[in-house]
A and B are shown apart, each in its own frame.
Chain A
Amino acid sequence: MHLPVPGAHTTALAKRGATMSDGINLLQLEPGARLRLANGAIVELVENPRDGSWLLCRYLADPTDPAVLGDEEHMIFVRDITALA
């Protein structure tokens, strides 16, 4: 169950209550999959640890922080994913 978190209402994600990611089972994603994040960034799945919560991704585009682009792996949490890109 996902209950509203006090103080979290400033994020666009929390305002919607549910996210697109609620419909995605991370276990079904394979490396190479492209995903859109809540902040508008696009990432590519590098390795799926198959824990259902996190993905190891690299940033292809990020409107807020171009410094993250490149081959470095980043941990992406399932609820920060809004859609398959």
Chain B
Amino acid sequence: MHPLVDAENGTISREIFVNPDIYAEEQERIFARSWLFVGHESLIAKPGDYITSRMGEESVVVTRGRQGGVHVLLNSCMHRGMKVCRYDQGNTRLFTCPYHGWSYGIDGKLVERPGQLVGVPGFEQHYHGELDRTAWGLRHVGRIALYKGTIWANWDADAPDFLDWLGGMRAFLDFALDHRDGSEGSSEAIGGIQKWRLNTNWKIVAENFIGDLYHDISHRSVDLVGIGPSGGKGRRDAQRPRMQIGFPGLGHGGLGETPHNSEPDYAPAWALYPEVEAYYRELHEKRVRNLGDRPRVTMSVGTIFPNMSFHGRQPRTILMAHPCGPTQTEMWRIYLVDADAPEAVKDAARHYYLRYSGPAGMTEQDDMENWTYATEASKGVIARRLHYNYQMGLGHARPVPGLPGAVQNGPMAEENQRIFYNRWAQFMTQAGWDGLMPTTARALEDAD
């Protein structure tokens, strides 16, 4: 496997969190071929709308074409590299480089393929009409997947399908993205992305959100105050028992319930807001009807390898931990609501999310303190000789009935972290998809 990761024995060298060479290798081996979350369709609702986003260290433009399709393009002029877009969002038909004026179209009226080079100053006079404009369009990602409003991209055109990448984790992502009444999708991102920088390694963020109930103690100050939507102590409404559920071989995991076929009784929530409480009570009835006896899960938090994390209920949010150097991460938080929820419901959710998460989040602040100083205290030559300990629950994983490919390890364990770093080690040591996605490769062979 990887010399620095001993997931079998639950120890991992601190080097992988601080070493610049390992960080550089991650950019190539992980971020250049993983499915990465780049945005939400509700942020680019109209033709011509775009946002700038990130894939690893790369800046990308995520646009909606005039024909409605979503395109993800490297935000770098093909001529001499200048960013063709330095705005966070907008609406345009052209991305024009400010340096020498090369211009790229994203609208089918101007180009056959979005991102095509449509304007070259001096094309006739100085290039003598000889530049192959079709060969110098903006670089597209290799693959794009749209899933219930979320937009994912992969630089590698040979990457497995997104749904294969997601595997059984899909059920937990669905819980976050589906309507609270159980109908598919129909959540939207509220406007405005919180972006901020943090001096920690991106994996420390990902491994926290993959399910670390053990660190609950670090949030004792906010629990003592109580910021939940029903008042009292704690930071959210009572939730159903959760356990660590992870997907060995895929690297994803979270805290949630195993699949079940009937809806538990309604548990009152959002008591501080009677109108909101009534809304959720009504949705519960709809949920019971909509889901019938189909399997369903609940979840609170999870990570999709490598660096997309999400919360499914309270709060309900997507987090990207963009790598920004071995010991720096740019955090992006997007907040989700049901698109058709009444304003009062959206409003209460928004206020709750903002006091929970983000740089002013009374919960997230303590996480960031721990991540920052864990990173700093792992930089020294002596500290680097040591390994972090991920031994909790080692050897106690068991299969999850009704969820192929998954294991669970009770409410508190470090199974998911071991799964995550096993996956990391696979990506850092294996060259091809046959080794990285053996299940998919086998399925393809069977299909042949």
Contact = CB atoms under 8 A, between A and B. Distances in A.
A77 B110 contact: no
Contacts of B110: 56, 73, 75
Nearest to B96: A51
A interface: dominant SS = loop
A62 interface: no
A53 B96 contact: yes
B14 interface: no
A38 to B, nearest CB: 10
Kindly name the residue among B110, B121, B125 whose own CB sees the greatest number of chain A CB atoms within 10 A.
Answer: B125
Given A47-B93, A49-B93, A73-B109, A54 B122 contact: no
A49 B91 CA distance: 10
Interface string A1-21: 000010110110010000000
A54 B94 contact: yes
Interface in B71-125: 92-94, 96, 98, 101, 103, 109-110, 118-119, 121-122, 125
Nearest to B101: A53
Nearest to B120: A77
Contacts of A53: 96, 98, 101, 103, 119, 121
Given A5-B126, A77-B121, A51 B109 contact: no
B125 A77 contact: no
A52 B98 CA distance: 9
- Give the size range of B's interface with the partner: 10 to 19
Contacts of B121: 53, 77, 79
A58 to B, nearest CB: 12
Interface residues of A, number: 17
Nearest to A10: B125
A35 B93 CA distance: 21
Contacts of A8: 122, 125-126
A57 B236 CA distance: 57
Given A8-B126, A53-B119, A77 B93 contact: no
A77 B101 contact: yes
Interface string B144-183: 0000000000000000000000000000000000000000
Interface string A35-48: 00000000000010
A49 B122 CA distance: 19
A5 B122 contact: yes
A53 B93 CA distance: 14
Contacts of B92: 49
Nearest to A77: B121
A39 to B, nearest CB: 10
Contacts of A73: 109-110
Contacts of A79: 121
Interface string B386-428: 0000000000000000000000000000000000000000000
Interface in B122-142: 122, 125-126
A56 B93 contact: yes
A3 B110 CA distance: 30
Contacts of A77: 101, 119, 121
A47 B101 CA distance: 18
Given A5-B126, A10-B125, 8 more contacts: A7-B126, A8-B122, A11-B125, A51-B96, A52-B98, A53-B98, A54-B94, A56-B93
